[in-house]
Amino acid sequence: MRTNALAFLDAHGADAHRRGWTAEQLFGVHPQHGFLRVEYAGALMVNDSRVIAVEQDRIVFDCFSGYRTKPGQAWGVPVWEFAAKKTSL
């Protein structure tokens, strides 16, 4: 996932930012349970396929139909904040 996340940032990061995607929407995980609660997961945390397009409310992957935001969805914390919290315990 790390490799794909970095590739995403290189290829689509500026476009995603311009379209309003947040760190939580892209890299979010549940604040207490991490990847175990996928309903809090960001687009790049639920799929390790290459991103081919970024739209206003959808990320399109090459081997996956896509990831769409949902109105009122609860977002997790960025994965790096979750990891930092776990290592500080």
Q: What is the pLDDT along the chain (89 residues), one digit of tens a residue?
A: 788 889 999 999 999 999 999 999 999 999 999 888 888 889 999 888 899 999 999 999 988 766 777 778 888 899 999 888 767 65
User: Is the Cα dihedral 38, 41, 43, 46 positive or negative?
Assistant: negative
Tell me the C-alpha distance between 31 and 50, whole Å: 26
**How many domains are there within the chain?**
1
Domain of residue 52 covers 2-88
Q: What is the pTM of this model?
A: 0.82
